[in-house]
A and B are shown apart, each in its own frame.
Chain A
Amino acid sequence: MRLSHILHLGIKELRGLARDPMLIMLVVYAFTLQIYSASKALPETLNHAPIAIVDEDRSPLATRITEAFYPPFFTMPQMIDQLSMDRRMDAGLDAFALDIPPEFQRDLLAGRNPTVQLNVDATRMTQAFTGSGYVQNILTNEITGFIRRYSSSAPSTVELVLRARFNPELNQVWFGSVMNVIMSITMLSIVLTGAALIREREHGTVEHLLVMPVTPFEIMVAKLWSMGLVVLAASALSLLLVVQGALRVPIDGSVPLFLVGAALQIFATTSLGVFLATMAGSMPQFGLLLMLVLLPLQLLSGSVTPRESMPEAVQIIMLAAPNTHFVMLAQTILYRAGGLELVWPQFIALGGIGCALFALALWRFRASLK
């Protein structure tokens, strides 16, 4: 092994990348626009949820309730009759249908404890969960407000004062932006190294290298460091300029510590890129394989859904994926301002997975040259 070979082969990779406008555009896009737009586009808890109201009461209170629903949380309510309610919900037109019974206001004021019926289309999980809470809250506020005007004796209350730590407003952008950076790191480190290897193989230049006094180890390490460096630099810039700059996400934790973790992650995923490239016969097969690998890495790593929500078997299997540990350490470092004393287990796991993937990729790479 000669360091100078690794250095110069790596520089060659960088020069090659510099002359490939498509890949450069992909890198720039993935670390700027992609992160910006994907973070901005994350659905706020409730957004324009379509609601319909069956008003059988037609009282001032019913009107007051109807007027309490407006954008951006809800659409302007559709006033419908009871007959069309089922049909509309079957067709998926309304997510919520509120049925205010006849004589509701009179019964309420008479203390007869009337019932409002709220129909929720539970095939829409996001809205069913958070939305029904909102609807109930709005109803309670409007009705208690209405009662207060007519009777002064308010009951004593036991209140639950909820505060969110680390992200007081539960802002989705804070969370989404960093998770998108992680996704871009994973995707690009796999794509860049994998494509670099397949390109060499398709052009026959790998064979050309092998008749020279250069070992497969040197060729592979050169690809890892050069492409990894590009991804690491791009992710650092993206964290500073896009996440902290354009998206104004406050980061309490240590960015350098996060970048050390990112370097370990990149070591693992660039090795994975080489491994996948040796498995795929051609660029198209690499593309299909990529789809099947990237989606599980993203969806099951805990960056979209909390790990606790997944079946136990999935949780255990995903411990073998580098992303799972990277997501954990990123959340601890960047959101909860945790230090090395909290994330060392993830660092060790990530390093171990990286070494295993590297060994596997090197073995496959050597075998594929035969």
Chain B
Amino acid sequence: MTAPVARLEGVGLSYGRTRALEGIALEIPAGGMTGLIGPDGVGKSSLLSLIAGAHAIREGHVQVLGGDMADAAHRATACPRIAYMPQGLGKNLYPTLSVAENVDFFGRLFGHGKAERERRIAELLASTGLAPFADRPAGKLSGGMKQKLGLCCALIHDPDLLILDEPTTGVDPLSRRQFWDLIGQIRAGRPGMSVLVATAYMEEAARFDWLVAMNDGRVLATGTPAELLARTGTANLDEAFIALLPEEARRAHQPVVIPPPLAADGGPPAIEAEGLTMRFGDFTAVDHVSFSIPRGEIFGFLGSNGCGKTTTMKMLTGLLPASEGSARLFGREVNPNDLETRRHVGYMSQAFSLYSELTVLQNLDLHARLYDLPAAGRDARVEEMVSRFGLAEVRDALPDALPLGIRQRLSLAVAMIHAPEMLILDEPTSGLDPIARDGLWRILLELSRQDKVTIFISTHFMNEAERCDRISLMHAGRVLVSDTPRAIIQGQGTAKLEDAFIAHLEAVTDKAPEAAPIAAAAAPVAARHQPFSARRMFSYTRREALELRRDPIRATMALLGSLLLLFVIGFGISLDVEDLPFAVLDMDQTTVSQDYALNLAGSRYFVQRPPLASHAEMDERMRAGEISLAIEIPTGFAQNLARGRNVEVGAWIDGAMPQRAETLRGYAQGIHAAWVSAKASLLLGSAAASLGFQIETRYRYNPSLESVVAMVPAVIPLLLLVIPAMLASLSVVREKELGSIVNLYVTPVTRLEFLLGKQIPYVGLAMVNFLLLAACGVFLFGVPFTGNFLAFMLGALLYVVGSTALGLLISTFMNSQIAAIFGTAVLTIIPSVHYSGLIDPVSSLEGAGAWIGQVFPATFFVTISRGAFSKALSFSDFTNEYLALLAAGPILVALAALLLKKQAR
């Protein structure tokens, strides 16, 4: 026997307090097809990601392809030989990129030249039958095609170990069969390749060479399928799996016995659909579906993900209005606005959709109230549900803390709270282990046979479909056939329901293009690992740019958003105060006093309002906000002035807005002083002497003291920091949230290549942004540009390299997009507003603020921006700033590369 492809010893893994894996010891044989079987959440995916090197090893040893996966050097040489396809349809693909672009991206990551790439892509697409769809975006492929594309991307570099995590879950049986045929062909072409597959379908697993049965983070048993069946003495793997479970888990299990259906009672059918059709745009999700379900029947809907099952159910519940056709429940037309029919229907949607913030009891109580159960029997009904569905022990628990099986029972209890005559259940058993699934089925059968509840259920498990009284096979929005399972099997003359389904599918789908055999592998790619490859870096650049171009919302938000903010701040933060309303209480009523008032009214800052008659009126009008300044000229003003006595003019200003009051005070004083020196001496002779010296104030760079001239050059650095940083940080965090970050974990791309590659398109976008903002400042706001524009632009380029790098750095410690948005906003806006000279010059800062101000990139670009706009400066004046910015970008990128994880933790 050859050496095992992977050897695991004492492997364990915890996520927080949850134990995902416990003491795993395994030797996976090389060259074969190994299956991991078990329900959702037992640790299959965790185990695969450890073997693939996508997740860091915490406990134990994992040896793959003859080396330790905890060793980074071994990972660097091993990962080009491993291909990993994570769980979830097309999770590591890029939905806006076309089929060919996706495969091309992976080819570049593995360092293939252009000719090599083209040859391989053509070959792979031909052999998977995807060639005709090469230009279709990956997001618009059907589930089965997505999985084939995932396989192409995984096979582009001729791996020795292919790891597939639930590749066929939710895919229709025909595509599933084609997928396994394809794997078979590939293995025939590359006999040395080992394949490791996780699956929830036991019938698939029966065809594998070797199986690992897992439950609750542990390995239950290993061996060939025949060995497992022989050891447990069972006829199929489902039963064998149950037999392998520990005693206490098995105790509750009883086999499901299906009582005969009830005799028809002659009333109107519970559900009747006629030509039900649903179109979204030019896509027909449900195409003229008709069926009729008598009361008390269990009616199954069988089909792949996206075939229209959920849409049909939504139309039946009135959630979606049908584009065409009609549906009747209990003989009544379904009307989305008719709340009455809803009282007869219980609905359980596909995903768990109860309130995770309410306890089990609170959830039941809320729904009882929303169904308007009378207060008298409400508590009793809630208690009845709790005991009937076995929820007594968890009544005060939060749903998130419960196992999936109990959560589904709770969903069912909630759907039944108002004793509906009909239940609509959308894939209620997906992800459940066989025991929990059988438990749920016993409840459903009891409801149907004893309580005469009509049950409409959808599933993609064949063995469940066989338990229904009647089923409809559905594909691409159309019902292929509706009958009892037995009749359908007999109708096609096949042995199993799955084969009958496939026969029906083949009748309606175009014959799959003949798959070309896979050519024998070309010379393997050089195994030498390059520490830095421009090709890998640019493959990320290319992909990011393509994604950005196809997602115009983000780019438009970035460009229009920053223009909008420039306008808002440019106009919003203004210190220009004009046309302030004032009124005069003139007790003197002489030409001198009137001249004083006229002098105020004549300035552009003040507008005169009707004169005041009394102090009370002054008080009232100021309170109403009608005047901002009130002047009181005392009696004898002119007379006293003429005699050279000291005179006081009273002025009251509205202090409600201190900043405006401050400015207003300055204006009033200035005008007063001007009047005193000019008018007083003119009117009264030289009684008022001059001060004996003069102050000549020169407002440099902005002689007319306009706010926009000061604001615009200061706001551009702010916007060029916040928005590029936010976009750059989103671009990384988005991958973390959507799961495509796994490509960084398992392909040869290095952290630095990944970061730089992503940064480049955003630097470009930020430069476009810069030109827009500068043009807007000069042409729309009319800010004079006095310096050298190229010098300004060079500064901007260095600056946006720094600001995007700052965004990348922030992204290394953010895990959700919403956190990235707010985190980046806080971490960029506060230092740039307060510490980079936007308001107070850096030289006047103290303490930590001064320290931040001296290193924060915005500081230097604020100086450049003001210098270039208003101070007529050029290249040679900015040497220090250039040097500082030149250093900032690389330092920030290097920091980000150090902090970014090359494996999940």
B residues 671-686 near A (Cβ < 8 Å) are: 672, 676, 680
B331 to chain A, nearest CB (A): 19
Q: Is B366 a contact of A156 with CB atoms below 8 Å?
A: no
B321 within 8 A of A: yes
Q: Is A208 a contact of B347 with CB atoms below 8 Å?
A: yes
Please indicate the chain B residues that have their CB under 8 angstroms from the CB of A47 in the complex: 840, 844
Q: Is A170 a contact of B710 with CB atoms below 8 Å?
A: no
B570 to chain A, nearest CB (A): 10
Q: Is B705 a contact of A129 with CB atoms below 8 Å?
A: yes
Taking CB as reference atom, which chain A residue is nearest B710? Answer: A125
B77 within 8 A of A: no
Q: Is A120 a contact of B697 with CB atoms below 8 Å?
A: yes
Q: Is A123 a contact of B866 with CB atoms below 8 Å?
A: yes
B16 to chain A, nearest CB (A): 15
Q: Is B841 a contact of A92 with CB atoms below 8 Å?
A: yes
Using known A-B contacts A115-B694, A203-B353, A336-B623, determine if residue A12 contacts B573 with beta carbons closer than 8 Å. no
- Most chain A CB within a 10 A radius of its CB, from B340, B641, B707, B818: B818
Please indicate the chain A residues that have their CB under 8 angstroms from the CB of B577 in the complex: 306, 308-309
Q: Is B625 a contact of A125 with CB atoms below 8 Å?
A: no
Using known A-B contacts A15-B357, A119-B700, A160-B649, determine if residue A167 contacts B658 with beta carbons closer than 8 Å. yes
Q: Mark B336-378, 1 if CB is under 8 A from A, else 0.
A: 0001101101010111011111100010001101111000000
Q: Is A213 a contact of B662 with CB atoms below 8 Å?
A: no
Q: Is B572 a contact of A299 with CB atoms below 8 Å?
A: yes
B residues 649-706 near A (Cβ < 8 Å) are: 649-663, 665-666, 668-669, 672, 676, 680, 687-703, 705
Please indicate the chain A residues that have their CB under 8 angstroms from the CB of B645 in the complex: 156
Q: Mark A11-24, 1 if CB is under 8 A from B, else 0.
A: 01001101110000
Q: Is A306 a contact of B660 with CB atoms below 8 Å?
A: yes
Q: Is B693 a contact of A175 with CB atoms below 8 Å?
A: no
Taking CB as reference atom, which chain A residue is nearest B554? Answer: A288
Q: Is A168 a contact of B655 with CB atoms below 8 Å?
A: yes
B462 within 8 A of A: no
Q: What is the size category of the interface that chain B forms with chain A? A: 35 or more
Using known A-B contacts A143-B693, A175-B658, determine if residue A291 contacts B825 with beta carbons closer than 8 Å. yes
Q: Mark A131-175, 1 if CB is under 8 A from B, else 0.
A: 011001001100110010000000111111111111110111011
A8 within 8 A of B: yes
Q: Is A50 a contact of B844 with CB atoms below 8 Å?
A: yes
A251 to chain B, nearest CB (A): 12
B579 within 8 A of A: yes
Give complex CA distance A235, B491 in Å: 71
A25 to chain B, nearest CB (A): 13
Q: Is B695 a contact of A165 with CB atoms below 8 Å?
A: no
A361 within 8 A of B: no
B234 within 8 A of A: no
Interface locus among B99-107, B298-306, B561-569: B561-569
Taking CB as reference atom, which chain B residue is nearest A191? Answer: B822
Q: What is the size category of the interface that chain A forms with chain B? A: 35 or more
Give complex CA distance A125, B870 in Å: 13
B860 to chain A, nearest CB (A): 10
Q: Mark A280-316, 1 if CB is under 8 A from B, else 0.
A: 0011111110011001100110001110111100100
Please indicate the chain A residues that have their CB under 8 angstroms from the CB of B688 in the complex: 155-158
Please indicate the chain A residues that have their CB under 8 angstroms from the CB of B691 in the complex: 140, 143-144
Q: Is A119 a contact of B698 with CB atoms below 8 Å?
A: yes
A342 within 8 A of B: yes
A274 to chain B, nearest CB (A): 18
Q: Is B701 a contact of A121 with CB atoms below 8 Å?
A: yes
Using known A-B contacts A45-B662, A158-B676, A175-B658, determine if residue A122 contacts B578 with beta carbons closer than 8 Å. no
Q: Is A122 a contact of B700 with CB atoms below 8 Å?
A: yes
Partner of B692, one of A91, A147, A282: A147
Using known A-B contacts A95-B841, A331-B625, determine if residue A115 contacts B695 with beta carbons closer than 8 Å. yes
A residues 178-230 near B (Cβ < 8 Å) are: 203-205, 207-215
A349 within 8 A of B: no
B317 within 8 A of A: yes
Partner of A163, one of B339, B358, B650, B714: B650
Give complex CA distance A111, B480 in Å: 109
A266 within 8 A of B: no
Q: Is B317 a contact of A211 with CB atoms below 8 Å?
A: yes
Q: Is A335 a contact of B656 with CB atoms below 8 Å?
A: yes
A4 within 8 A of B: yes
B804 to chain A, nearest CB (A): 17
B571 within 8 A of A: yes
Using known A-B contacts A291-B825, A292-B561, A305-B572, determine if residue A175 contacts B366 with beta carbons closer than 8 Å. no
Using known A-B contacts A91-B863, A147-B692, A336-B623, determine if residue A162 contacts B669 with beta carbons closer than 8 Å. yes
Q: Is A157 a contact of B353 with CB atoms below 8 Å?
A: no
Q: Is A165 a contact of B817 with CB atoms below 8 Å?
A: no
B184 to chain A, nearest CB (A): 38
Give complex CA distance A1, B345 in Å: 20
Please indicate the chain B residues that have their CB under 8 angstroms from the CB of A157 in the complex: 646-647, 688
Give complex CA distance A310, B577 in Å: 9
A352 within 8 A of B: no
Taking CB as reference atom, which chain A residue is nearest B838? Answer: A124
Give complex CA distance A83, B753 in Å: 48
Q: What 3 pairs across the A-B complex have the smallest Cβ distances?
A: A299-B572, A164-B655, A167-B655
User: Can you give 21 A-B contacts (C-beta < 8 A)?
Assistant: A2-B372, A12-B366, A19-B398, A50-B844, A90-B871, A92-B862, A94-B843, A115-B694, A125-B707, A128-B699, A129-B666, A132-B699, A205-B353, A213-B370, A291-B825, A292-B565, A305-B572, A335-B656, A336-B623, A336-B625, A338-B623
